[in-house]
Amino acid sequence: MGSVNLEMPPMEYETRIGKQEVKLNAVKGQMGSKTRGVSLTWNDLWVTVSTRKSGRKAILQGLTGYARPSELLAVMGPSGCGKSTLLDALAGRLDFSTRQSGDILINGHKQKLSYGTCAYLTQDETLLATLTVKEAVYYSAQLQLPNSMKKSEKIQIAEQTIKEMGLQDAMNTRIGGWGTKGISGGEKRRLSICMEILTRPKLLFLDEPTSGLDSAASYYVMSGISRQKEGRTIIASIHQPSAEVFNLFHSLCLLSSGKIVYFGPASAAIQFFARNGFPCPHLQNPSDHFLKTVNKDFDEDIEQGLDGRKPNTEEVIDLLVNSFKLSKEYHEVQNQVAEICQQGGEILEKRSHANFTTQSLVLTRRSSVNMFRDLGYYWMRFATYVGIALGLGSIYYDLGSNYHSIEERGLMVAFVVSFMTFMTVGGFPSFVEDMKVFQRENLNGHYGCCTFVIGNTLSSIPYVLLISFVPGAIAYLLSGFQNGSGHFIYFALVLFTSMMIVESLMMNVAAIVPNFLMGIVIGAGIQGLQILSGGYFQLPSELPNPIWKYPLYYMSFHKYAYQGMFKNEFEGLKFTDDQFGNNRTMSGEDILRERWQVEMAYSKWVDLAILVGTLILYRLVFLLIIKTNEKVVHARKASTSVLSNRSSQIMAKSLPTSPLHGLTSFDDSPTNNG
Ligand SMILES: Nc1ncnc2c1ncn2[C@@H]1O[C@H](COP(=O)(O)OP(=O)(O)OP(=O)(O)O)[C@@H](O)[C@H]1O
Ligand SMILES: [Mg+2]
């Protein structure tokens, strides 16, 4: 394990960022002294969810606390006590099944946590499995660090951060994921941290940064993070810290069932427990002792009770919660919250990152590399398409131009347009993985929705071109479709556009339903309806007018793909009825009109143009969906920090009062503003 050193990055970087900071710090707090960095306060914070059985369930119950610059606040508690929920609430990331009330203020102001000021490491990893550690961090650095910085400087920062996280030995190892073994779970954790601290954010939320790490690695990572705390505010939820790691915490927030058991200096927690009859046994890790005392999931083994009776854990928790509310530590918390709010501080502003063009190029490159290396993304499909094209070519080999070939040409066009495009649903799991990575990076402000859509679209084009032109050529040549390169190019372009449309459809589904099975079923269902109403499996004149003809027939992209391919295939050809030697002929145009009921008022190029329009529309809808999601999340962020008059009064009151006065001001009932 290499030593972890999260001290300041190289001087040049620090100076550049520093200049920006100085400029951004121009807006000062309204009252009193101005603080640098981010002081976060939360007051009477409630988070509830609705449950089917018992109405609303409170996950967090009236929490009050603060986090200050240059301090590391550890949030501890048994599993399910609300650690992640607290971090989510503070970072404005709660989902919409929850309701939140209370005040969350940044430097005493209601303000949004904008890009570069805040980073959040989630409990679950979402990384691109195909990239190596070095590539993942390099791409991330190029996306996040500003354009004013040279590429070499970005690489230097990336390399240094990799070393700081002790990942230098795994630099060239692929991350790996489902199906492929790559770096270990602990290395993934460190890599995730690495990518979030590249911009040296002022506020860092870390949800279980040490899960999956052994005690030595946990210590190195946490001491690295702790060394980096100068000027930064760090809030980390943590399970089972060793005694050494525990000593790194400045403050401790101990939760149980969503209530505060203790908040204050980590070093004073032992005295608080001892005062209430639960002294930490000699040679026992204090964090083990705290967790054991407040974990009611396995209600046994309380070291020592009151009055000789052994209370159950529920009673112990109630005792500690009530005792804390009456303690000097709690009053100190209230005073600190009020003081921080009165001091105010800088209004945080957005820090610059790479510009739109750079981000689009980097994302396109990263996505191309991922698509190239992920066998399931395109290569498997390519191999399957080649196999199917060979099958099509042998079944419909050398169609000729007799009457019989009319039906066969129709069947082959229908197969290509319906089923070869339908098979694009096979890429859905990869789309879902891409969406997860996008959502994490977008939430952390690495780049916006437009850049993602551009990167994703541009990177997929060469692969979809390949899988439409090569298998397309095999099927086309073997079956003896209409001669001429123009005809083949049209055929392949319709196939290409149709596949891109289905990809876009599946991306839309992935943005709304990020579940493999449900997504594939929904995507397949939508396509099934489009195929049915496309005018091949039932002729347009026979389609029932309500729903199937109006609007589905006109909305189905298959209609334009069938008709464009039919025109491409039949126009200009003559078909002979050679069955009984009568040698009647029929023109391709007549067949189009009478047999396939194709709309002949416009050319095949109009059909292709409509397909391209549909593709653009689907991509715009995709952009709209992810943009709406982003807006909703940001709206949620903005609504988290509402300084109510009630709280202002409480804060104003609690400053000068004696320890026990401020306590009665709090009203325990949640008020919903979320
Ligand atoms: N959206 C939700 N709907 C219903 N219950 C929820 C929701 N979100 C969280 N919970 C419940 O709230 C409690 C706290 O969850 P949270 O994820 O914050 O726990 P945690 O302390 O982070 O646990 P762990 O240490 O296991 O990560 C859990 O009991 C969880 O089941
Ligand atoms: Mg959690």
pLDDT score for 544:
96
Query: Is residue 58 lining ligand 1, measured as CB closer than 6 Å?
Result: no
DSSP character string of 559-624 = HHHHHHHHHHHHTT-EEEE-SSS--EEEEHHHHHHHTS----SS-HHHHHHHHHHHHHHHHHHHHH
pLDDT score for 387:
97
C-alpha angle 569/573/576, rounded to 5°?
120
Which contiguous run of DSSP H or E holds residue 66?
strand 55-67
Nearest CA to ligand 1 atom 17: 84
Tell me how far apart the alpha carbons of residues 341 and 68 are, in angstroms, rounded to a whole number: 12
pLDDT category of residue 315 using cuts at 50, 70 and 90: confident
> Is pLDDT of 339 > 90?
yes
Q: Are 72 and 250 in contact (CB under 8 A)?
A: yes
Domain boundaries, given as residue ranges, for the chain = 40-117+201-343, 356-629
Give residue 260 CA to ligand 2 midpoint distance, Å: 16
pLDDT score for 444:
87
> Is pLDDT of 443 > 50?
yes
Q: CB under 8 Å to 198, separation ≥6 — which residues?
A: 137, 140, 141, 144, 145, 157, 158, 161
Q: Are 510 and 432 in contact (CB under 8 A)?
A: yes
> Is pLDDT of 561 > 50?
yes
pLDDT score for 639:
55
Give residue 51 CA to ligand 1 midpoint distance, Å: 13
In this predicted structure, which of 29-33, 248-252, 573-577, 619-623 has the lowest mean pLDDT?
Answer: 29-33
- For residue 58, which of 351, 328, 257 has the smallest C-alpha distance? 257
pLDDT score for 310:
59
More confident residue, 668 or 457: 457
One CATH from 3.20.20.140, 3.40.50.300, 1.20.210.10, 3.20.20.70 for 40-117+201-343: 3.40.50.300
Query: Is residue 81 lining ligand 1, measured as CB closer than 6 Å?
Result: yes
More confident residue, 309 or 17: 309
> Is pLDDT of 463 > 90?
yes
pLDDT score for 328:
92
Ion ligand 2 residue ranges (Cβ < 5 Å):
83-84, 123
Nearest CA to ligand 1 atom 2: 49
pLDDT score for 388:
96
Tell me how far apart the alpha carbons of residues 294 and 353 are, in angstroms, rounded to a whole number: 44
Of ligand 1's listed atoms, the one at least distance from the Cα of 81 is: 21
In this predicted structure, which of 27-41, 246-260, 494-508, 538-552 has the lowest mean pLDDT?
Answer: 27-41
- For residue 420, which of 469, 461, 454 has the smallest C-alpha distance? 469
Q: CB under 8 Å to 622, separation ≥6 — which residues?
A: 453, 504, 507, 508, 511
Amino acid in the structure at residue 414: A
Tell me how far apart the alpha carbons of residues 342 and 41 are, in angstroms, rounded to a whole number: 11
Of ligand 1's listed atoms, the one at least distance from the Cα of 95 is: 1
More confident residue, 583 or 152: 152
- DSSP letter (8 states) at residue 15: H
Query: Is residue 84 lining ligand 1, measured as CB closer than 6 Å?
Result: yes
Nearest CA to ligand 1 atom 20: 80
Give residue 347 CA to ligand 2 midpoint distance, Å: 30
> Is pLDDT of 448 > 60?
yes
> Is pLDDT of 669 > 60?
no
Q: What is the dihedral of CA 540, 543, 544, 545, to 10 degrees?
A: -20
Which contiguous run of DSSP H or E holds residue 433?
helix 428-443
- End-to-end CA separation in angstroms for the chain: 45
Nearest CA to ligand 1 atom 30: 80
Q: CB under 8 Å to 39, separation ≥6 — which residues?
A: 66, 67, 68, 69, 106, 107, 108, 233, 340, 343, 345
Determine whether 244 is exposed, middle or buried from the number of CB atoms within 10 Å of its CB (0-12, 13-18, 19+): middle
pLDDT score for 612:
98
- As beta bridge partners, residue 40 has 67, 106
> Is pLDDT of 16 > 50?
no
Supply φ then ψ for residue 477, to 5 degrees. Answer: -70, -40
Please say whether the dihedral angle defined by the alpha carbons of residues 192, 197, 198 and 199, taken in this order, is positive or negative.
positive
- As beta bridge partners, residue 321 has none
> What does the H/E/C string look like for 471-508?
HHHHHHHHHCCCCCHHHHHHHHHHHHHHHHHHHHHHHH
Nearest CA to ligand 1 atom 24: 79
Of ligand 1's listed atoms, the one at least distance from the Cα of 82 is: 18
pLDDT more than 70, % of the chain: 85
Supply φ then ψ for residue 400, to 5 degrees. Answer: 75, -165
C-alpha angle 494/500/501, rounded to 5°?
90
Considering every ligand atom, which ligand is closest to the CA of 239?
A: 1
pLDDT score for 630:
86
Give residue 495 CA to ligand 1 midpoint distance, Å: 47
Tell me how far apart the alpha carbons of residues 412 and 492 are, in angstroms, rounded to a whole number: 14
| 3-class secondary structure, 203 | strand
Nearest CA to ligand 1 atom 8: 85
Q: CB under 8 Å to 32, separation ≥6 — which residues?
A: 342, 343, 344
More confident residue, 514 or 128: 128
pLDDT score for 21:
35
Q: Which of 47, 85, 98 to mutate to test the pocket of ligand 1 (most atoms within 8 A of CB)?
A: 85
Helix axes 313-325, 328-343, angle to 10 degrees: 50
Mean pLDDT of 94-107: 87
> Is pLDDT of 384 > 80?
yes
- For residue 226, which of 207, 211, 254, 204 has the smallest C-alpha distance? 204
Mean pLDDT of 276-302: 82
pLDDT category of residue 637 using cuts at 50, 70 and 90: low
- DSSP letter (8 states) at residue 20: H
More confident residue, 26 or 138: 138
Query: Is residue 54 lining ligand 1, measured as CB closer than 6 Å?
Result: no
- Here the tokens at position 502 are 């289905």
Q: What is the mean pLDDT of the chain?
A: 85
Tell me how far apart the alpha carbons of residues 517 and 3 are, in angstroms, rounded to a whole number: 44
Q: Look-up: residue for tokens 């123009």? A: 486
Of ligand 1's listed atoms, the one at least distance from the Cα of 237 is: 22
Region class of 349: left (phi > 0), else alpha (psi between -120 and 50), else beta: beta
> Is pLDDT of 652 > 50?
no
> Is pLDDT of 37 > 80?
yes
pLDDT category of residue 298 using cuts at 50, 70 and 90: low
> Is pLDDT of 170 > 70?
yes
Please say whether the dihedral angle defined by the alpha carbons of residues 399, 401, 407 and 410, taken in this order, is positive or negative.
positive
Whether the predicted model's global pTM rises above the 0.85 cut = no
> Is pLDDT of 224 > 50?
yes
Query: Is residue 497 lining ligand 1, measured as CB closer than 6 Å?
Result: no
Of ligand 1's listed atoms, the one at least distance from the Cα of 86 is: 18
> Is pLDDT of 378 > 80?
yes
pLDDT category of residue 633 using cuts at 50, 70 and 90: confident
Q: For 425-438, what is each residue's pLDDT tens digit?
A: 888 988 999 999 99
Q: Look-up: residue for tokens 């949620």? A: 636
pLDDT score for 261:
95
- CA distances for 601 relative to 493, 563, 593, 597, 612, angstroms: 21, 12, 10, 12, 19
- CA distances for 654 relative to 30, 40, 337, 657, 658, angstroms: 19, 18, 9, 5, 8
pLDDT category of residue 644 using cuts at 50, 70 and 90: very low
pLDDT score for 114:
61
pLDDT category of residue 92 using cuts at 50, 70 and 90: confident
Considering every ligand atom, which ligand is closest to the CA of 100?
A: 1
- Here the tokens at position 150 are 């040279």
Nearest CA to ligand 1 atom 16: 82
Nearest CA to ligand 1 atom 26: 79
